[in-house]
Chain A
Amino acid sequence: MDLAVLLPAVAFYVFAGAAIAFAFGVVSARNPVRSVLFLIMTFFSAAGLFVLMGAEFLAMILIMVYVGAVAVLFLFVVMMLDIDFVELRQGFADYLPLGGLLAFILTVELIVLGASWHVSTKAEGLRQAPISGDTDNLRAISEVLYTDYAFFIEAAGLVLLVAMIGAIVLTNFHKPGIKRQNISAQVARKAEDGVELVDVKPGQGL
């Protein structure tokens, strides 16, 4: 078999298998920090799959945003949690019937959905890529985002801005009576303002 065909296939199975194995690790690991680590590895494998599909921009963004920012936040929170593992595992038997029932219902629904699903005859037309394949995908994405969907991306930005301001307003409150630092005053301070030389006469003091 030709190497040029074999290598991407091997890479796909390695990344896909790793993604599934790590995803299983996320839910089965006993230590929450290890769970987050498995989650990071899952993101990483998914990024590898994106690269194999030729979507290297999405892969890099996935790593930067999810691995570089979101997962770091998770790690921060999880590392500072004070979890009692014995207590955590105590309720397992109590919740097993209810949890099992939910899992069963979801599985049946998924099977029913999967059995009745079929490809629409009009779907083929929708699968056409709006940009031809020879432009690199960074340019392709930005051409679609900033021309056809420019207003939608602006709207999304506004929603995020509102969310950000909301988060700041909710969490930021100034307690009265606390001394705060005025950095510009600190920086502008000179030796002449801070130190006063007084000629103290002997025996008089100040």
Chain B
Amino acid sequence: MADFFTMLFDTTTTLGWTVVTLLKVLGFVVVLLISLAFILLADRKIWAAVQMRKGPNVVGAFGLLQSFADFLKFAFKEVIIPAGTDKFIFIMAPFLSLVMAFIAWSVIPVAPGWVVSDLNVGILYLLAISSLGVYGIILGGWASNSKYSFLGALRSTAQMVSYEVSIGFVIVTVLLLAGSMNLSEIVEAQAGGFWHWNGIALSPITLVMLPMMVVFFISALAETNRPPFDLPEAESELVAGYQVEYSSTLYLLFMIGEYLNIVLMCSMVTILFLGGWHAPIDVAPFTWIPPVFWFAFKALFIFFLFAMVKAIVPRYRYDQLMRLGWKVFLPMSMGAVVLVSAWVVFAQGGA
């Protein structure tokens, strides 16, 4: 029996590798879904607190079970498929956006070695998957056969495609500094205390990297359709954008996908700019806390900022959004790539 188990979990064999990877995937999915329930609640609570409301406080102590109640509500409602829809694509679209949101997580290292697949081209994989995520939205909007949905989908796609460009260039600056596309190596390159973290390092290049972190954060807001860039769902103009016609479970899938993408963006800020799983200072009381918790703290802090932005900032006008993406962020991030490459070659002597 013991032999069987050692064989089953031996990662050098194909069978063992498959079993271990499946278990890792299961672990990621379960932990992500459960934390998502509470992250959603936190989002609503923070938003409520800013507006001096109480927020959800009825289901469970402090409303802790609110997300689960919502889940049951969504799951037991009737799925309504409007007449004139392309039925197959209408049902496929939310699944697509959920699956894309989940598979992006397969390259995120949350602690040393805690990653489903340690790809050498991890960053490129993330960019590729996030460009695929557009399809869930555009197909859902088109298949609904509704003007509001279609307009919302077009807006959303144009917005996501525009901001992906500047996100790409910001990522290039980090790649240049780390000298690798592997996410674990990017995190390792920032080891040794918070003064080595890309975003806030004690080094002249921080004058470039700190603004780049802000650009990345704002682009991440636009990329995930969060306020102040939630024009695809602008309720005063488009009812609810691409998801007008979606109800019950299908809507739930869209929503889980959206929040997974938001948390993914928080993790990316953590990995690229805030040293990933590393403790801020490499001495005793800080190193007692396991790395995965440091990762979670940082990601949750960024999520807190996401929630605060949602509560504080009014919605952008669409032309201003496009102007910000193409005329401000794109030239800024391209300039930063030039500066960082110059820094790497001339100041650090790298090539």
A-to-B contact residues, CB < 8 Å: 2-4, 7, 31, 33-34, 37, 40, 56-57, 60-61, 63-64, 67-69, 72, 75-76, 79, 136, 138, 181, 183
Contacts and interface: CB of A to CB of B under 8 A. Distances in A.
B343 interface: no
B245 interface: no
Q: What band does the interface of chain B fall in when counting residues whose beta carbon is under 8 Å from A? A: 20 to 34
29 contacts: A2-B14, A3-B15, A31-B86, A33-B89, A37-B89, A40-B135, A56-B120, A60-B125, A60-B127, A61-B124, A63-B131, A64-B127, A64-B128, A64-B131, A67-B128, A67-B132, A68-B132, A68-B134, A68-B164, A72-B131, A72-B161, A75-B142, A76-B157, A79-B138, A79-B150, A138-B120, A138-B121, A138-B181, A181-B319
Contacts of A31: 86
Interface in B168-182: 181
- Nearest 5 A-B pairs (CB), nearest first? A68-B131, A3-B14, A60-B124, A63-B128, A4-B14
**Residue in A57, A69, A72 whose Cβ sees the most chain B Cβ within 10 Å:** A72
Contacts of A33: 86, 89, 142
Interface in B126-151: 127-128, 131-132, 134-135, 138-139, 142, 150
Contacts of B73: none
B54 interface: no
B157 A63 contact: no
Contacts of B15: 3
Contacts of A7: 14
Given A3-B13, A68-B131, 20 more contacts: A7-B14, A31-B86, A33-B86, A33-B142, A40-B135, A60-B121, A60-B127, A60-B128, A64-B124, A64-B128, A68-B161, A69-B131, A72-B131, A72-B135, A72-B157, A72-B161, A75-B138, A75-B142, A183-B320, A183-B323
Contact of A56 (B119, B142, B154): B119
Interface string B306-330: 0000000000000110010000000
Contacts of B14: 2-4, 7
Interface of B: 13-15, 86, 89, 119-121, 124-125, 127-128, 131-132, 134-135, 138-139, 142, 150, 154, 157, 161, 164, 181, 319-320, 323
A52 B265 CA distance: 29
B345 to A, nearest CB: 13
Nearest to A136: B120
Nearest to B154: A76
Query: B14, B86, B323: which has the most chain A beta carbons within 10 Å?
Result: B14
A151 B132 CA distance: 33
Query: For chain B, what secondary structure do more than half of its interface residues adopt (helix, strand, loop), or is it mixed?
Result: helix
Contact of B121 (A4, A56, A69): A56
Contacts of A40: 135
Nearest to B182: A136
B318 to A, nearest CB: 13
A63 B121 CA distance: 13
Nearest to B124: A60
A108 B124 CA distance: 43
Contacts of B125: 60
A146 to B, nearest CB: 10
Contacts of A2: 14
B245 to A, nearest CB: 16
Nearest to B14: A3
Contacts of B86: 31, 33
A67 B133 CA distance: 11
B143 to A, nearest CB: 9
A57 B132 contact: no
Contact of B161 (A67, A69, A183): A69
Nearest to B129: A63
A71 B142 CA distance: 15
Contacts of A79: 138, 142, 150
Nearest to A64: B128
Interface-central residue, B131, B142, B164, by most chain A CB under 10 Å: B131
A72 B156 CA distance: 12
A36 to B, nearest CB: 10
A60 B168 CA distance: 13
A57 B127 CA distance: 12
B142 A72 contact: no
Nearest to A4: B14
B141 to A, nearest CB: 9
B157 to A, nearest CB: 6
Nearest to A3: B14
A40 B125 CA distance: 17
A79 B164 CA distance: 22
A117 to B, nearest CB: 35
A72 B128 contact: no
B120 A72 contact: no
